[in-house]
Amino acid sequence: MNRAPQWQWPLKVIINAQFSPHSGGGGLETVLVGLICALGELDDGTEEYIIVGPWDSPECWKKYLGPNMRLVSGPKPPTDEKGRWLKKSLGPFLPVARRLRSYLAPLPPQRTWPDVPVSNGFFESLGGDVIHFAYHDYVYCALPTIYSPHDLQHRHFPQFFEPGVLAWRETIYPAGCRLAQIVSVTSQWVKDDVVDQYGINPKKVQIIPWAAPTRVYATPTIGSVEAVMGKYHLIKPFALYPAMTYEHKNHLRLLESLALLRDRHGLQVNLICTGDRKPFYQQIEKRMQELSLQDHVKFLGMVSPEELRALYHIAQFVIIPTLFEAASGPLFEAWQDGAPAACSTVTSLPEQAGDAALLFDPYSVEEIANAVAQMATDQKLREKLKVNGARRLQDFSWERTARAYRALYRRGAGRPLSTEDQRLLNWDWMRNPEHKKEVVTV
């Protein structure tokens, strides 16, 4: 009996998503939601997607799935080693929470270096042709794999990570980058870093930019804005900084810049911060009290995606003083809801921002203060950045990102690439939004 060649069969793609959306994982969660939603909206291919959700609550992904997708439960984490399954359930990309330390078993004195997980056959049993490990986690298996390490922050700021997390990253990240058939990253800066840090062949590393993570959620209305204003007792105008309270997010220097403006120039700027309160928040809160900023700075903690969009919509401006970022979700999100933005000059942010953000040195309290002052007092600057942000946003699209990943899945599975596939995989639209090069066969 004659059978159609394998490349004519529907391509089955496994996407590892073994965490709950909006469980406190930050930008990686919202980005994966955006990618899965966009892949589910593509209706011009025969691809089928198998989404591997968390073992105990896979249904948390149901509302994001398209007609070309099915959901399965991931394998239950082993419980024979006390505490390790709990850490796993929090997501391998999350630093070990100090506030949970008392509930976790202490590490044994003879603890060995972490091992790279090897598949027990679970992923292979799903019948997929290629698997995408779309965040830090990686499992060595028999399928062709695509690995998305996000960034290598631990290589640049090891002091921000606990020893156990650092050891885990230094095991999983290089293994994933070396063992996977393809490594996908969001910018040229991250690609160069992966190549330099781990000696990876540049041809193996594919750049696919993101888009605004909040695009999949409801557009703010007058009612939703008023509800957020009332719920959190907000007073306009205010600056907005959406970021979990990790040390590299640089909240301390931002607070010091606000105190400098108040004490030296008599300029009082209100600041609203959102995001999960990580253990470093204790130091942030202490510094806020030392600087007597409690009446002008609010940390709201985690807010819903819909509330976050409303906050962007009514913020006078967004400030992003981070010390390290693969790509800034808040920068995309600010453009999405018409908020002018100022951000750091570090890593990939200048190439992402273009002329659509006011740039500053995040290591200088003076420079942060100058940026805050300009954004708070210069209406013409804010209007210019709004216009530039709306234009820059048009350079990014979740549909284009999804099509590029679909092309990458086809390449990873050894399927033929269409002309569009080749064009997308040869186009870094973050740096070259008007790219018109002739298609190059890959």
How many domains are contained in the chain?
2
> Considering only CA atoms, which of 202, 210, 161, 172 is closest in space to residue 327?
210
* Domain end residue (candidates: 166, 193, 211): 211
- What is the pLDDT averaged over residues 350-372? 97
Residues 110 and 35 in one domain: yes
Residues 83 and 170 in one domain: yes
> Between 353 and 7, where is the model more confident?
353
- Residue 315 pLDDT: 98
Answer yes or no: is pLDDT of 242 > 70: yes
Residue at 402 is within a domain? no
Residues 196 and 232 in one domain: no
What separation in angstroms does the CA of 29 have from each of 94, 178, 387?
11, 24, 28
The strand ranges marked E within 172-313 are: 182-185, 205-207, 239-242, 271-274, 297-299
What does DSSP assign to residue 380? H
Residues 154 and 117 in one domain: yes
Residue at 328 is within a domain? yes
> Considering only CA atoms, which of 52, 57, 54, 46 is closest in space to residue 70?
52
- Residue 107 pLDDT: 44
- What is the pLDDT averaged over residues 402-429? 97
Strand (E) or helix (H) holding 372? helix 365-377
Residue at 417 is within a domain? no
Residue at 73 is within a domain? yes
Residue at 133 is within a domain? yes
Question: Pseudo-torsion of CA 366, 369, 370, 375, nearest 10°?
Answer: 160
**Dist CA 248 CA 158 (whole Å):** 11
- What is the pLDDT averaged over residues 413-430? 96
Answer yes or no: is pLDDT of 59 > 70: yes
Residues 205 and 225 in one domain: no
- What is the pLDDT averaged over residues 206-210? 97
Residue 106 binned pLDDT confidence (cut-offs 50, 70, 90) = very low
Residues 262 and 162 in one domain: no
Answer yes or no: is pLDDT of 94 > 70: no
Residues 30 and 169 in one domain: yes
- Residue 320 pLDDT: 98
| pLDDT above 70: percentage of residues in the chain | 88
Answer yes or no: is pLDDT of 100 > 60: no
Radius of gyration over alpha carbons of the chain, in Å? 22
- Residue 193 pLDDT: 98
375, 381 contact by CB (below 8 A): yes
**Dist CA 277 CA 130 (whole Å):** 36
**Dist CA 278 CA 25 (whole Å):** 11
Residues 198 and 243 in one domain: no
Residues 10 and 141 in one domain: yes
**Domain of 285, in residue numbers:** 219-393
Q: State the residue for tokens 């946003």.
A: 393
* Domain of residue 344, CATH code: 3.40.50.2000
Q: What b/e string do you get for 13-38 counting C-beta neighbours within 10 Å, with b at 16 or more?
A: bbbbbbbbbebbbbbbbbbbbbbbbb
Residue 128 CB coordination number (10 Å) = 23
- In a 13 Å sphere around the CA of 326, the CA atoms on its Cβ side amount to 23
- Residue 19 pLDDT: 85
Does 237 sit behind a cis peptide bond, omega within 30 degrees of 0 on the bond before it? yes
Answer yes or no: is pLDDT of 147 > 80: yes
Residue 275 CB coordination number (10 Å) = 24
- Residue 20 pLDDT: 79
* Domain end residue (candidates: 174, 190, 211): 211
Residues 258 and 171 in one domain: no
> Considering only CA atoms, which of 341, 376, 338 is closest in space to residue 360?
341
* Weakest-pLDDT range from 19-33, 129-143, 241-255, 376-390: 19-33
Answer yes or no: is pLDDT of 82 > 60: no
Helices 222-232 & 305-314, crossing angle to 10 degrees? 90
175, 113 contact by CB (below 8 A): no
Residue 78 binned pLDDT confidence (cut-offs 50, 70, 90) = confident
- Residue 440 pLDDT: 37
- What is the pLDDT averaged over residues 212-225? 89
Residue 88 binned pLDDT confidence (cut-offs 50, 70, 90) = very low
Strand (E) or helix (H) holding 171? helix 163-179
- Residue 25 pLDDT: 60
Residues 170 and 283 in one domain: no
Residue at 404 is within a domain? no
* Weakest-pLDDT range from 267-271, 312-316, 324-328: 324-328
- Residue 343 pLDDT: 98
Residue at 432 is within a domain? no
Mean predicted lDDT score pLDDT of the chain: 89
**Dist CA 181 CA 57 (whole Å):** 30
Burial level of 210, CB count in 10 A (0-12/13-18/19+)?
A: buried
* Domain of residue 135, CATH code: 3.40.50
Residues 189 and 247 in one domain: no
Helices 188-198 & 163-179, crossing angle to 10 degrees? 100
Residue at 440 is within a domain? no
269, 261 contact by CB (below 8 A): yes
* Domain end residue (candidates: 211, 234, 250): 211
Tell me the whole-structure pTM to 2 decimals: 0.88
283, 256 contact by CB (below 8 A): no
**Dist CA 392 CA 335 (whole Å):** 8
Answer yes or no: is pLDDT of 103 > 50: no
**Sign of the CA dihedral with 241 first, then 371, 155, and 105 last:** negative
433, 252 contact by CB (below 8 A): no
- In a 13 Å sphere around the CA of 405, the CA atoms on its Cβ side amount to 35
Answer yes or no: is pLDDT of 111 > 70: no
